[in-house]
């Protein structure tokens, strides 16, 4: 099997951009697992199901076709389709972002998505970003990075991203609150919570450019 690189961390630490660049530079595949949880959340919200109807959600998901296609544009790092419909932009909207942690905490949802993720990474040669990649999805990954930044810095970056996608109109304070709430939910759920794996290397991106973070990870990979 070829190498697996796991990149975990809280929301807005720069994981998506960095993961895509690391994959591109190393000639590996890129997988955004957050996009998968977002796609399921989109499906549930648009199905009219109650967000707590776990059994019905599990059933809905088991019948759904999720496509995660890496794209090489800086704004849309991943094209996401669910049951054939392109939901790339909609899954990044505040309406989905605010609900995704609830869906991601459900056992059947995690089981189904983790199975898919392991299938997609089965032969390696992949850089995978998420919250539980190093701890749970690929515990045997050759390199594990835990990418962090202060909540303020992460909110600033998120605002820039949202504005670029036409989803602006939210204040920095609101965004900081939203990010902290999501990190809290992701870190305190019972199943595969957001954690730094014991053997992960923590990289704080506060004072680093995207290029610097990317180069640091590539250097660690070659070590
Ligand atoms: O990375 P992104 O912000 O797109 O992730 C959206 C949400 O999906 C996270 O806040 C978390 O609730 C969930 N997630 C997860 N496990 C992963 C990736 C994402 O629970 N591996």
CB 176 within 8 A of CB 155: yes
Residue 41 buriedness (CB in 10 A; 0-12 / 13-18 / 19+): buried
d(CA 28, CA 162): 27
- In this model, does residue 74 exceed pLDDT 70? no
pLDDT tens digit string along 156-168? 988 888 888 787 8
Q: What is the DSSP letter of 134?
A: I
- Evaluate: CB of 186 within 6 angstroms of ligand 1: yes
Coil, strand or helix at 5: strand
Which residue's CA lies nearest to atom 6 of ligand 1?
34
Q: What ipTM was assigned to the predicted interfaces of this complex? A: 0.99
Q: What is the arithmetic mean of pLDDT over 143-157?
A: 94
Which residue's CA lies nearest to atom 14 of ligand 1?
34
CA dihedral 5, 8, 14, 20 (to 10 degrees): 30
Q: At which residue do the structure tokens 């515990």 appear?
A: 139
14, 37, 110: residue to mutate for ligand 1 pocket, most atoms within 8 A of CB: 37
Distance 220 CA to ligand 1 centre (A): 24
Longest C-alpha distance within the chain, in Å?
Answer: 50
Q: What is the distance of C-alpha 27 from the center of its chain?
A: 20
Mean pLDDT of the chain: 94
What is this structure's pTM?
A: 0.95
Query: What pLDDT, on a 0 to 100 scale, did the predictor assign at position 94?
Result: 87
């Amino acid at each position: 099997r070829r190498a697996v690189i796991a990149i975990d961390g809280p929301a807005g630490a720069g994981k998506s951009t960095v993961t895509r660049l690391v994959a591109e530079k190393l000639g590996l595949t890129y997988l955004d697992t957050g996009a998968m949880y977002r796609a399921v959340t989109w499906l549930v919200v648009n199905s009219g199901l109650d967000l707590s109807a776990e059994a019905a959600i599990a059933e809905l998901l088991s019948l759904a076709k999720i496509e995660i296609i890496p794209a090489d544009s800086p704004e849309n790092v991943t094209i996401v389709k669910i049951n054939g419909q392109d939901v790339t932009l909609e899954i990044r909207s505040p309406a989905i972002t605010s609900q995704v942690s609830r869906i991601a905490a459900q056992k059947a949802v995690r089981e189904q998505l983790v199975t898919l993720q392991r299938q997609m990474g089965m032969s390696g040669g992949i850089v995978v970003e998420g919250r539980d990649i190093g701890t749970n999805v690929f515990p045997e990954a050759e390199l594990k990075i835990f990418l962090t930044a202060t909540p303020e810095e992460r909110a600033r970056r998120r605002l820039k991203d949202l504005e670029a996608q036409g989803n602006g109109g939210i204040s920095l304070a609101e965004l900081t609150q939203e990010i902290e709430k999501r990190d809290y939910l992701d870190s305190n759920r019972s199943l595969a919570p957001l954690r730094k794996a014991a053997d992960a290397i923590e990289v704080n991106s506060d004072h680093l450019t995207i290029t610097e973070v990317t180069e640091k990870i590539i250097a660690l990979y070659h070590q």
